[in-house]
Structure 1
């Protein structure tokens, strides 16, 4: 440790630190040594005293009138600064206005980009819906006009004796559709819901609206020996079929 302190004191770091000639690392090191080691602190104080004494010894008396000259220059500088400050304030206001307008246009641009994204997404959704609708129409045409399509007449049970429907099944194209032509009236708090049992799983095909187009075909998921059901459920439909409220079986 003594060697470390000795090497430090032998270097010129203290002198250069007093004269403000050290870099950041040297300054940090010097201040750490001054704080940690009394020997270094003592040497630093002595150097500081010697420097102050040297400055006083070799001080030169200021020329006559220097004080007034300096004060005059300060006063003149204040006036110039006043003009500069006014110019700086005006420039700042212009800069703020420019920044404000830039932010406004940036915000408008972001808003337009967001709206553009929304519109593009809606267009993509519409395109997808149109493709699906066209595909569904094509499949309906195939089912209705293909000689391999089987037509199955469906009647409701005792709970809905007036229910009439026709299922169209094409085992070659593996397509199935159903047309529910008549549904008995239900109380307002109830609805008809269609289900299909495919590969042991019950698939919800949605609520059948009583005032739907009588010619409308509803797609059925195709599977060998699939079974469908129409049930009476609470208004809005159910997550699982109410077995006790089955009003029609559809075997296709």
Structure 2
């Protein structure tokens, strides 16, 4: 409700109501806020007071000789005269006050409009920043949840760790595989991979009893735990150099291998 009251006070309804330009629905809304909210009543009283000051400031003083002229004319018997109170026609004070009030109202309305626009722009910026912040928080929470799940998998007592080092063809190669035969999950962590020509990449393979199965491509840019297919009866894991676009790598390009039976 405080937000609605703040919006009402920043609107132009009190000014419109004061000068009689508010519609029936707007007048009902203004009267409701004045009756139910002290802040609205005080704001309305302040506007009335300011308008009264403006009206008084534009008032025209009555000439000092008017009263003496009237008394003098009344003392002269049997004569009917038209007493000229003011020699020159002057604009009535209420017209001046009304004009001043209209000018002040226009200026005030414009300033309030500008202020409201600035507040709306600032509110929109704040809302966008809040949404961006919430989005960042959600993304960070999602990353933390994912990291927590990965750590839980690594810390699982059933998980087995296999460090895969490169042979003479790729001495700087190093990856770590985590295999959980109970949960039937496999993950690999790329630590270092020697750079290859643009038309080649590293592939990880699983050796079964009678065949080799391609488990996917390894990329050093993906420096995080990466899930790979779990192979129930895999005897070993090997890393080969493959040509991009060729899924069936039958050449002898093996650069690393590790047996999965050593820890059973």
Q: Structure 1-normalised TM-score?
A: 0.40
More helix by share: 1
Higher Cα Rg, which structure: 1
